[in-house]
Amino acid sequence: MAYNVLLLGSGGREHALAWSLNKSPQLKKLYIAPGNPGTSEVGENVNLSISDFDQIWSFIQEHEIDITVVGPEQPLVDGIANFLEAKLHPVFGPKLQAAMLEGSKEFAKEFMQRHQIPTASYKVFDQEDFDEAVAYIKEQGKYPVVLKADGLAGGKGVFIPETEAEAIKILKDLKTNSPLKEAASRLVIEEFMTGEEASVFAISDGTSYKVIGNAQDHKRIGDGDTGLNTGGMGAYSPAPVVTDEILERVEKEIIEPTISGMKEEGNPYVGFLYCGLMITEYGPKVVEYNCRFGDPECQVILPRLQSDLLEIMVAATQVKLDDVDILFDDEVRCCVVLASGGYPESYEKGKEITGLDNIKDAIVFHAGTKKEDGKIFTNGGRVLNIVGSGKELKDAMDRTYREVKKVNFDRAYYRSDIGAKGLKH
């Protein structure tokens, strides 16, 4: 069967998903809403609001869409999968109840506690309980400590203060004048876990699951993992810290109980499951879940995928995941994010991007870009993803950075050490 597909989203992850779906022999027509200049090269961009479910449903009917794929977390947490499934339309992405693994840090923590899934110890506070939160931090007396906004915060809701004074300042700021005030109406305070971070991704049909790769993201804005948290400044895949032994433990201790726990509780999980992990001396522990593919991890995992992504997604919506294979090539991929100067705080848009035509030895995934009069301009904090490949990690890094240097826009910024952590393995 040939499928008409609607993909929701506009970032680097969605360009990578569109690029991968476009390779499927089963694809009839791919629409991306609203998409970006990169997605328009592999499908048709359509001007739909991903928060207007009725508008999306009208488009699905008019264009005889066979399956809708949801890229970002917000529509999933808003219940788009529930809305479309109620109309008997196949949708790839978890329903609201399952998406709460990302939608609420408190929900995720309680779920992990119920199912004995390893994670950091924690306590939850309302914004009004500011004094109690301070008292709790003082009582623990361990630094750094981790403060997490309970709600969705676009990858910017985690703080790791090194001192009591810094923790108190962040708590005050979140309570009074932070743009995260709403997301942080409840706050999760966690013990700081020591180890190396990595992400393992699974795809599930609600009953069974398959691992669809692993990667190491670089969340902090500055080289050497310094500065503010961002949505992700680069990634590479596979991550050598995820050894076969670690992966076996992740499946047994984290992914299996998550998928079976969701099903037991009446919320079967369909879609991508992102397990953000800390590989500690005691083994892997969950830092956070996401209810969709990671960005920029998606950009390094999908170019390695040799199987048909559309076939896999359709199988997941039909509870037939066991019928498909997930195969990868044996190359390493490295992705460097070009960001607007000032990101993740204030930055300017509308800077002309030059040099994209000079990139011959890497894939470019657009994120925060727009096209006007045949020219490409910046239109977001994370602007472009440059993805290079190689037999070894060092080859992939060298190739990626060679290509990164060919692209220019005013105040372009990128980290110069993406992948360096993997070299010591």
Mind listing the pLDDT tens digit for each residue in 219-240?
Answer: 999 999 999 889 999 999 999 9
Answer yes or no: do 141 and 212 share one domain: no
User: How much is the average pLDDT of 49-65?
Assistant: 98
Report the CATH number at residue 27.
3.40.50.20
Report the CATH number at residue 205.
3.30.470.20
Q: Does 365 have pLDDT greater than 80?
A: yes
**What's the pLDDT tens digit per position in 71-116?**
999 999 999 999 999 999 999 999 999 999 999 999 999 999 999 9
pTM for the structure as a whole: 0.95
H helices present in 181-281, as ranges: 244-250, 256-264
Give the pLDDT score at 141. 86
Give the pLDDT score at 5. 98
Q: How confident is the model at residue 200 (pLDDT cuts 50, 70, 90)?
A: very high
Answer yes or no: do 178 and 269 share one domain: no
Share of the chain above pLDDT 70, in %: 100
Q: How confident is the model at residue 379 (pLDDT cuts 50, 70, 90)?
A: very high
Give the pLDDT score at 184. 81
User: How much is the average pLDDT of 180-194?
Assistant: 88
Distances (CA, A) of 88 to 91, 106, 141, 179, 423: 9, 31, 53, 38, 48
Answer yes or no: do 293 and 344 share one domain: no
Give the pLDDT score at 168. 87
105 belongs to a structural domain: no
User: How much is the average pLDDT of 185-189?
Assistant: 90
Give the pLDDT score at 330. 96
Q: Does 302 have pLDDT greater than 80?
A: yes
Q: How confident is the model at residue 127 (pLDDT cuts 50, 70, 90)?
A: confident
Range of the domain at 32: 3-95
Q: Does 197 have pLDDT greater than 80?
A: yes
User: How much is the average pLDDT of 300-326?
Assistant: 98
Q: Does 146 have pLDDT greater than 90?
A: yes
Answer yes or no: do 394 and 314 share one domain: no
Q: Does 155 have pLDDT greater than 80?
A: no
Answer yes or no: do 170 and 215 share one domain: no
Answer yes or no: do 226 and 312 share one domain: yes
Q: At what angle do helices 256-264 and 105-114 cross, to 10 degrees?
A: 100
User: Of 148, 171, 191, which one is at a domain's C-terminal end?
Assistant: 191
Average pLDDT, the chain: 95
CA-to-CA distance for 292 and 298, rounded, in angstroms?
10
Q: How confident is the model at residue 364 (pLDDT cuts 50, 70, 90)?
A: very high
Q: DSSP string covering 132-157, please?
A: HHHHHHHHH--SSEEEEESS--TT--
CA-to-CA distance for 191 and 425, rounded, in angstroms?
26
**What's the pLDDT tens digit per position in 7-27?**
999 999 999 999 999 999 999
User: Of 137, 163, 191, which one is at a domain's C-terminal end?
Assistant: 191
Answer yes or no: do 394 and 299 share one domain: no
Report the CATH number at residue 356.
3.90.600.10
Residue with tokens 């399952």, as numbered in its chain? 98
116 belongs to a structural domain: no
The answer to whether the beta carbons of residues 13 and 295 sit under 8 Å apart is yes
281 belongs to a structural domain: yes
Report the CATH number at residue 179.
3.30.1490.20
Give the pLDDT score at 124. 92
Q: How confident is the model at residue 359 (pLDDT cuts 50, 70, 90)?
A: very high
Q: How confident is the model at residue 176 (pLDDT cuts 50, 70, 90)?
A: confident
Answer yes or no: do 318 and 349 share one domain: no
106 belongs to a structural domain: no
Q: How confident is the model at residue 175 (pLDDT cuts 50, 70, 90)?
A: confident
Answer yes or no: do 80 and 182 share one domain: no
386, 379, 416, 392: which is closest to 37 by C-alpha? 379
User: How much is the average pLDDT of 297-314?
Assistant: 98
Distances (CA, A) of 387 to 48, 112, 358, 392: 28, 34, 14, 14
Give the pLDDT score at 40. 98
Answer yes or no: do 151 and 132 share one domain: yes
Answer yes or no: do 261 and 371 share one domain: no
User: Of 159, 191, 223, which one is at a domain's C-terminal end?
Assistant: 191
395 belongs to a structural domain: yes
Q: How many domains does the chain have?
A: 4
Give the pLDDT score at 367. 98
346 belongs to a structural domain: yes
CA-to-CA distance for 396 and 48, rounded, in angstroms?
36
Q: Does 211 have pLDDT greater than 90?
A: yes
CA-to-CA distance for 334 and 234, rounded, in angstroms?
8
The answer to whether the beta carbons of residues 379 and 406 sit under 8 Å apart is no
Q: Does 370 have pLDDT greater than 90?
A: yes
356 belongs to a structural domain: yes
103 belongs to a structural domain: no
User: How much is the average pLDDT of 277-285?
Assistant: 96
Q: How confident is the model at residue 46 (pLDDT cuts 50, 70, 90)?
A: very high
Answer yes or no: do 231 and 308 share one domain: yes
